[in-house]
């Protein structure tokens, strides 16, 4: 079954059917490279969300009784179909959200890994037995799926987030209602087609496209939603957190970042500079775990700035299908304004643009700033563009203190040969993830991925999602 992609007018996938929005309205999805019309998608309403939740609720009693073998087979089949439809998925990642081919391939391969790792979860939904103080009492726990999981995903890595969160939720026996970013509905429609073709029962996975600020509340506050997993901006995360707290709906929030990289005087710049460039320029800095703050010990500072600028000025900005292209267009006019404002504010307050700062169409050149001070917006706020600030530090301790001077706490990195300082940093940085001698951008299907403070609550990944998306029930039998 196919959505009407040939017309590029996408529909919702609810209860095993492709349906238009109840108000029959659509919205335009633009290709961010040139703002041309990419497709139209159903403009979901509150009624659509309620239909999708009702479908997921109705499917749950049957779906939760499916066997691990069935769910494992369906999930592995998703991976097979993804491979068969690879060209289509890559085209979508390129034309819908402006991914350069190398980022699209990275995302595709990561997505495959996410689905296959989720298949391994199906057999791991298990409890324990406990000794009892009561003679003849057999005591145990079982792990059970929660019910309906609301999955809300962002524009920047739609395939990674969809494959991870939807697949993990389905693997452990939940049914799903998915609200993707209004900037990436086609990718998710392709995924829904694949889920359907893989054999998942009607209603186990439901997709509603539309604007989160219009229909998000209908989903997150619905009494039949048993878990919310949200990835997106910290502002929206705060709203969802308040709704979930009111309704006592368990949730995980994966939010924004301003991830630091600390480079000590004994680091090897030959290795550090390419990783630094990858950390901030991949997908033009539109990565939650991108590093936008570099703290460099004074003896290496000048050399690092010079070498980083040289690499930055050569980062590929060509055709998105050229494998050497790194810099993507910035996703929307609103987001472009944000990146421009951050740079302009920094310059107006005295920062120096070492390289970049100009735009080529909707693409911002890789931009490095020095002389950034606390009163500049770029110092503390998430830019979500290819813009990094480089700061000199006089000691490791100063680097740790400055790295920790942020409301965010997602990823972090330190480059040094000093194992004591490296581990001290890893244990004392206020971030959910730390990479010693590696880039802040790193993710694997089974690791605990997530952050603290403004970067979110909870972790995701196979083990973390298994725990978060199921509940333990204690059962005794008096023999
Ligand atoms: P966004 O917050 O604008 O949108 C994310 C999702 O939330 C979309 O699906 C949107 O439709 C939905 N939404 C909007 N308002 C809502 C509401 N009131 N209720 C429910 N849902 C609502 O974020 P974005 O611009 O798509 O993505 C960029 C942000 O996501 C950045 O801040 C980035 O750091 C963050 N992000 C975090 C991670 C992570 O794992 N921590 C990963 C990727 C992106």
What pLDDT score was predicted for residue 437? 98
Which is nearest to 262 in space by CA: 364, 103, 455, 406? 406
- The answer to whether residue 94 sits within a structural domain is yes
- The answer to whether residue 417 sits within a structural domain is yes
Residues in the chain: 479
| CA distances from residue 236 to 81, 147, 284, 321, 455 in whole angstroms, order as listed | 33, 24, 22, 33, 12
**Spacing, Cα 183 to ligand 1 middle (Å):** 11
Quick check: 114 and 164 in contact, CB under 8 A? yes
Q: Which residues contact 45 (CB under 8 A, 6 or more apart)?
A: 21, 22, 23, 210, 214, 215
Residue of minimum CA distance from atom 10 in ligand 1 = 212
First to last CA, the chain: 52
Residue of minimum CA distance from atom 26 in ligand 1 = 154
What averages of pLDDT result for each successive group of 10 residues across the chain (479 residues)?
58 98 96 97 98 98 98 98 98 98 98 98 97 98 98 98 98 98 98 98 98 98 98 97 98 98 98 98 98 98 98 97 98 98 98 98 98 98 98 98 98 98 98 98 97 97 98 97
**Spacing, Cα 467 to ligand 1 middle (Å):** 23
**pLDDT tens digits along 169-207:** 999 999 999 999 999 999 999 999 999 999 999 999 999
Do residue 325 and residue 235 come from a single domain?
A: no
SS3 content of the chain, % helix, strand, coil (to 5): 40, 25, 35
Do residue 184 and residue 291 come from a single domain?
A: no
**Spacing, Cα 255 to ligand 1 middle (Å):** 7
- The answer to whether residue 443 sits within a structural domain is no
Which is nearest to 255 in space by CA: 280, 281, 229? 229
Residue numbers of the domain that contains 296: 259-436
Do residue 282 and residue 196 come from a single domain?
A: no
Segments in 349-461 forming alpha helices (H): 377-380, 396-403, 419-428
For ligand 1, is residue 182 a contact (CB within 6 Å)? yes
Do residue 382 and residue 307 come from a single domain?
A: yes
For ligand 1, is residue 180 a contact (CB within 6 Å)? yes
Does 254 qualify as catalytic in the annotation?
yes
What pLDDT score was predicted for residue 287? 98
Do residue 403 and residue 348 come from a single domain?
A: yes
- pTM greater than 0.85: yes
Phi, psi for 129 (deg, rounded to 5): -115, 155
Do residue 288 and residue 217 come from a single domain?
A: no
Residue of minimum CA distance from atom 42 in ligand 1 = 288
DSSP state of 356: -
Do residue 321 and residue 403 come from a single domain?
A: yes
Quick check: 413 and 291 in contact, CB under 8 A? yes
- The answer to whether residue 175 sits within a structural domain is yes
Q: Hey, what are 191's tokens?
A: 């995924």
**Spacing, Cα 321 to ligand 1 middle (Å):** 26
What pLDDT score was predicted for residue 8? 77
Do residue 243 and residue 291 come from a single domain?
A: no
- The answer to whether residue 400 sits within a structural domain is yes
Q: Hey, what are 215's tokens?
A: 């229909």
Do residue 67 and residue 170 come from a single domain?
A: yes
Neighbours of 128 (CB within 10 A): 11
**pLDDT tens digits along 311-333:** 999 999 999 999 999 999 999 99
Give CA–CA dist 89/107, Å, rounded.
10
Do residue 146 and residue 174 come from a single domain?
A: yes
The structure tokens 């070498």 sit at: 307
Do residue 372 and residue 311 come from a single domain?
A: yes
**What CATH number is attached to the domain comprising 299?**
3.40.309.10
Number of separate domains in the chain: 2
Do residue 98 and residue 226 come from a single domain?
A: yes
């Amino acid at each position: 079954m196919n959505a009407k992609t040939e017309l590029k007018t996408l529909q919702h996938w609810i209860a095993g059917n492709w349906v238009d929005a109840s108000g029959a309205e659509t919205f335009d999805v633009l290709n961010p490279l040139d703002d041309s019309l990419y497709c139209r998608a159903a403009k979901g309403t509150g009624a659509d969300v309620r239909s999708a939740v009702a479908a997921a609720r109705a499917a749950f009693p049957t779906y939760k009784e499916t066997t691990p073998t069935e769910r494992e087979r369906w999930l592995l089949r998703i991976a097979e179909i993804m491979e068969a439809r690879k060209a289509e998925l890559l085209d979508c990642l390129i034309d819908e959200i402006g991914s350069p081919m190398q980022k699209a391939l990275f995302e595709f391969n990561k997505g495959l890994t996410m689905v296959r790792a989720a298949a391994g979860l199906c057999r791991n939904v298990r409890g324990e037995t406990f000794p009892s103080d009561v003679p003849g009492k057999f005591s145990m726990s079982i792990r059970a799926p929660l019910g309906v999981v609301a999955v809300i995903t962002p524009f920047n890595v739609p395939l990674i987030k969809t494959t991870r969160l939807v697949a993990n939720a389905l693997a452990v026996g939940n049914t799903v209602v998915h609200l993707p970013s209004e900037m990436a509905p086609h990718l998710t429609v392709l995924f829904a087609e694949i889920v359907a073709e893989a054999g998942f029962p009607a209603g186990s996975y439901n997709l509603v496209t539309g604007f989160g600020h219009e229909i998000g509340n209908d989903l997150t506050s619905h009494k039949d939603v048993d878990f919310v997993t949200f990835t997106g901006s910290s502002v929206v995360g705060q709203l969802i957190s308040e709704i979930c707290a009111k309704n006592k709906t368990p949730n995980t929030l994966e939010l924004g970042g301003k991830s630091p990289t600390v480079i000590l005087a004994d680091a090897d710049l030959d290795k550090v500079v390419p990783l630094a460039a990858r950390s901030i320029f991949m997908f033009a800095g539109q990565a939650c775990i991108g590093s936008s703050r570099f703290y460099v010990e004074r003896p290496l500072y000048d050399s690092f700035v010079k070498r980083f600028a040289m690499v930055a000025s050569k980062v590929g900005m060509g055709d998105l299908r050229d494998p050497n292209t790194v810099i993507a267009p910035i996703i929307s006019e609103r987001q472009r304004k944000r990146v421009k404002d951050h740079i302009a504010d920094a310059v107006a307050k005295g920062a120096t643009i070492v390289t970049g700062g100009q735009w080529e169409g909707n693409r911002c050149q890789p931009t490095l700033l020095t002389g950034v001070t606390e009163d500049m917006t770029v110092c503390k706020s998430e830019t979500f563009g290819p813009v990094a600030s480089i700061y000199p530090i006089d000691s490791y301790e100063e680097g740790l203190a400055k790295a920790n001077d942020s409301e965010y706490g997602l990823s972090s990195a330190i480059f040094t040969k000093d194992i004591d300082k490296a581990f001290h940093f890893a244990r004392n940085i206020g971030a959910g993830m730390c990479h010693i001698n590696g880039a802040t951008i790193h993710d694997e299907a089974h690791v605990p991925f997530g952050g603290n403070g403004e970067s979110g609550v909870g972790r995701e990944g196979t083990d973390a999602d298994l725990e978060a998306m199921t509940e333990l029930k204690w059962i005794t039998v008096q023999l």
